[in-house]
Structure 1
């Protein structure tokens, strides 16, 4: 009851206090506090923070700098008597934040207005381009699957390195002391301090390549090179162990107390650190073949007298041995020769954060030469391997490295792209990193970067940190001026060249006589604030007043190469690229607009137009060829056989290009309400009606006629549509449902074999509709209004799925299955159930909880 905060629809926050005598209010006082983007909810925390859940766009966390007690701020008060006599409003001018300061924000895509999936940047995985937001908070978001990377430093090296390590001088040190880089014939040692610089007195041998560098014991350093092991004591003494004969070391596995080396020919030699800190040879073991890779688990007991060795090695015969000196505990065959091994010990914690929902806490990971990551559970008592899983990571054999993430051990997998395996909220996640291909990596910790990674790529040494763990995508946001509606991609240039943005004055808040330059630049004293429009929004305007623009944007540089403001109260509603046959202009851009559109008290408009633009200066600039007036609002445009299909109200019309305007070729006026989507495949046209779902159409060129041969029996208020295959369409309605309809195969075959293409049946009609009906094959309630659908594959070699975006900013996908519908979000809740409930469900399915979890993770 100290004070209340109220926010208006403009975003202005007011501080309200009550002066009362016991339970009787004597006076109400209201004072201007600050202006932030319009929210759907405000939450004041006792710790002095304010969380603002935005109505659209990113949510924000603010900290109170003051509570608005300044006497010079515009205020108003009212007593009971004054209220009865009439209240005079107090006017004020919005200003920069004074009582609040934004300290963090939660990224949000809401609302997603349009979306495309395309690999414009020629990366391993495609990017998701989405139009998001409303008014001055609008943006084009470029989403890449993977975690975001913050690059701290990049340094060129004198050659191409083969490996890199970081090492501390003492086990109790907080930060690393050296970065050691190995080359084909030398080793470079860099000291970590305020700056990173080369040193020559570290004790490391710099005239030979290194195979491994690590801390051994509590305060000694170890360097393994092809000819032996160099043990550097804390007092500067150096002990050397040399390989017997002319044999060389080819593979190394080590932890702080134990070392295993593999010599050429397949011999293994095992070393331990004794009580005096000396590295001593313990035993040898002859293998039946050359060792391809090996790794040692961390010491399971700190007691030196009982330090156990759990060693895993792989030979070129594609078999994995779990081995304690002289005893083979387990054998595991794999599908391809191995390249790298890593034991990942996961610390047990409350809530079952064990990484794979198993009682065990040790996992063996293997990178195979076919690009697959093989992962299995190691029983800590018997050493047996179980519950093997595999996942394809890329075209290169994964190299596995142990790093630190949030103070816990994690796994970095370097294939054709880097991947991170880590624990997040009780689950083991394997997520790609949005970064270039790396060759070798190690953890990095310094005073300037407490938890990072140092890696080599080409001839460069890179230091970076990993941000926003737990997220599926990282994004690049390009600010836009108005609420975006539609955009298209110019495919020949593999660049996002056209994006139409349209906005009503009601939503964008520009005055009737305002223009974009005035709004962006401003005439008041606050115009120097680059976030003023984002913070304050645009002023509201009367109904029926619009502002709109067409933008050409290069996503590589995030630069706008052309911006055309539509004049005379026009707003753009649809667009597409079109290539008219036998025309000289090449690819053109068609934009459908409406003038003076109003939705209330009833829908009305002054005129509709279709603009035709051509690209100039290598597609960077638009030039208007002509615009054609039409009798409705063109909500849908699509290229079809060298012509332009337009949905103008309830009319589907085919246009050709003329010198001064578009030329009508044929039309169909039998659609029930308003056409909102048009998609084509071969000679079929798939039309989405605003209220009546899908209509399948054909065009007969010899008769120059459009006709409907199939429609849906269920009325649907369409919000999104996408063509799946020759007979199937995917759609979404305004009640949060996504559904798929398909033309029966026998009907489809009959229409294709019919010389008239079903025209005779169409003329006869059926139940005041098309002669054939599509069948609903799947329906799923998403629970949010889906605004866009797209078909794409997000991983190399993966199957295609239907990706959707919603008003609330969610991204999801539908993957084809032999079953009807499987709710993946619901299935993911299985590990959170109590164990007795998991066992009960598993017993009903005649499975174990582990088997169910394994199938859910696939």
Structure 2
């Protein structure tokens, strides 16, 4: 593989040589201007095609544009190179363009088009706000139709005998609209829309279908009166070639302690139009929906139910159920295993037996955690978040000698995050496997919180975990926290009924703060630490060892 593009540039006073190869990989080095020596060789994979490197200026700062099948902007932050994806599919060549008509612009060419545009403020995470005028509750992406499905809620006002929207919103001004009509379900319960008084605020739930590229609301489907949307899924079912949006709902009435009726509604999106294909009445709220081996898995109040899709009849047929829950709020699946997050009984692991068409409870966590999100990390380790702002992990011991031990999920990790987590998703904010790394990590689970924070959980090998734990303990002594709150105290797993010291977790934010320390403070942290020299022997770690290791860890997000 031969070099295709070589560039010498300077970022934040540090000189670099960048060398792009024909297979899409990029090597970069620190360059000593006086001696000509190249040091600190590193490699990153930017794409799969030959890469062309070009410099340009943004906000008076020099940056590098890597033209390839995955165009990337290279810039420096805190004396580290950062690689930020560009929202273009393929770029063959780029050059800066600065004229009276096009100031601080870029001219970008591929096989078919020439594009002239400006680049946003360069950063890792780009945020674009799409005003809906109503509250989004759930979101799902559908690649087949190039759309997003969004469950939303708006507030209407009772005005005499009619209901009027309180303000303009996405569901009232969509390109096309439709409404659910089911007289049998409307009459469920004793609380009718007619019971509302003049001026009452009424919640109206809708399914919005939004174009992936323009974010135009293509269609809005309004649900029935008193019907609240609780879950949303985009999936294929069985041997049906179509991809469907599936909405789980509940009919909410003030006189009922919990919903007694609900629906699972199947929609098909075609050319921006949404058509209701099927519906299944259920005895409660569909809190969670999952695709499971070509079937539909749903948590309905205290039960977990599996539905089979009949392609030609376009209907759902219930196959089996599991009842041992208070309220089954969350479902995650892997193979034939199902992880259930309960309102107040932590997590339960179920096994689906396809030959028998039944569920079997394999193991459960006996601690009374009030769950807010769950995720499966691997075959034996499960991640949970509960309502006291804590995270925990549980381990399934398949090698245990007794049934009692096998049926009990052991807590192996405890961590106080300090934020209410409401979603876990496998995924990443950066290109996966892009870097040649000596600090291996396994998996990547994104965290979303009600405050709008995004976090990441990854698994570490035992030797790396133990080393970083030493680094963390040293940093906690060197770095003075805001308010003089002890780090170990802050990260203690704490609920109304117990407090336990942090276990099995490393605080990544604290580890990364090492890079912001002065050289003297870095030396203080490195003092006494030992690392593997590559041959199985230990040697004293120095500051450069720590900087290299922690810089590599920062690149996973």
TM-score by length of 1: 0.48
Aligned residue in 1 for 2:367? 714
Q: Is residue 574 of structure 1 aligned with residue 231 of structure 2?
A: yes
Distance 2:268 2:105 in 1: 46
Tell me what 1:234 maps to: none
1:613-657 Cα distance to aligned partner (Å, 9 max, x none)? 342646842225344151x33212334455543322222334457
CA shift at 1:735, angstroms?
2.9
SS at match of 1:625: strand
CA contact (8 A) 2:221 2:274 kept: no
**Kindly tell me: are residues 408 and 740 of structure 1, through their superposed partners in 2, closer, same or farther at Cα, counting changes over 3 Å?**
same
Higher relative contact order (CA 8 A, sep 6+): 1
Structure 1: distance between partners of 2:237 and 2:71: 44
SS at match of 1:474: coil
The equivalent of 1:637 in structure 2 is 289
Match of 1:803 in 2: 446
Q: Tell me the equivalent position of 1:435.
A: 88
- Offset, 1:450: 4.5
SS at match of 1:850: helix
Look up the SS of the partner of 1:520 in the other structure: coil
Query: What's 1:730 paired with?
Result: 383
The Cα of 1:686 is off from its aligned counterpart by 1.8
Deviations along 1:73-110, one digit per CA (max 9) or x if unpaired, are xxxxxxxxxxxxxxxxxxxxxxxxxxxxxxxxxxxxxx
Name which one, 1 or 2, has greater alpha-carbon Rg.
Answer: 1
- Cα distance, 1:510–1:381 mapped onto 2, change above 3 Å: same
Match of 2:420 among 762, 769, 785: 785
The corresponding residue for 1:342 is 7
Matched-pair contact (CA < 8 Å) for 2:352–2:359 = yes
Match of 1:828 among 505, 508, 512: 512
Alignment pair present for 1:817 and 2:449: no
Q: 1:496 aligns with which of 132, 147, 153?
A: 147
User: Cα–Cα, structure 1 residues 663 and 472, in superposed 2: closer, same or farther, change >3 Å?
Assistant: same
Q: Distance in 2 between matches of 1:367 and 1:579?
A: 41
SS at match of 1:707: strand
> Partner of 2:187 in structure 1?
none
Alignment partner, residue 591 of structure 1 = 247
Paired with 1:462 and 1:624, the residues of 2 have a C-alpha distance of: 42
Of 543, 546, 549, the residue aligned with 1:852 is 546
Q: Secondary structure at the match of 1:853?
A: helix
Q: In 2 relative to 1, CA 381–498 (structure 1 residues): closer, same or farther, beyond 3 Å? A: closer
- 1:510 is aligned to 156
The corresponding residue for 2:323 is 669
Conserved in 1, the CA contact under 8 Å of 2:156 and 2:165?
no
Query: C-alpha displacement at 1:733, in angstroms?
Result: 2.1
CA distance, structure 2, for counterparts of residue 578 and residue 373 of structure 1: 37
d(CA) in 2 for partners of 1:619 and 1:447? 40
Q: Cα distance 1:606–1:807, how it changes in 2: closer, same or farther (>3 A)?
A: closer
Does residue 1:548 correspond to 2:205, yes or no? yes
Deviation track 1:298-332 (CA, whole Å, cap 9, x = no partner) reads: xxxxxxxxxxxxxxxxxxxxxxxxxxxxxxxxxxx
Taking the aligned partners of 1:624 and 1:555, their CA distance within structure 2 comes to: 23
Q: 2:399 is paired with a residue of what secondary structure?
A: helix
Distance change >3 Å, CA 579–CA 404, structure 1 → 2: closer
Give the gaps of 5 or more residues in structure 1: 1-335, 347-352, 355-360, 528-539, 752-760
**Structure 1 residues 481 and 403, CA gap change in structure 2 (3 angstroms):** closer
Q: Cα gap change, 1:384/1:806 in structure 2, threshold over 3 Å: closer, same or farther?
A: same
Q: Distance in 2 between matches of 1:775 and 1:570?
A: 39
Alpha-carbon contact 2:371-2:386 (below 8 Å) kept: yes
Q: Root-mean-square deviation (CA), in Å?
A: 3.7
Which residue in 1 is equivalent to 2:300? Answer: 648
Alignment partners' CA distance in 2, 1:629 and 1:459: 52
Aligned residues: 463
Q: Distance in 2 between matches of 1:541 and 1:596?
A: 20
1:560 alignment partner in structure 2: 217
Change (3 A) 1:856 1:641: closer
Q: Deviations over 1:658-692 (max 9, x none)?
A: 98986655433321x21111233333222111222
**Residue 133 of structure 1: aligned partner:** none
Quick one: structure 1 residues 740 and 458, their matched pair in 2 at CA, closer, same or farther if it must change by over 3 Å? same
The match for 1:250 is none
Q: Is the 8 A contact 1:696 1:710 kept in 2?
A: yes
When normalised by structure 2's length, the TM-score is: 0.72
C-alpha distance in 2 between matches for 1:454 and 1:585: 41
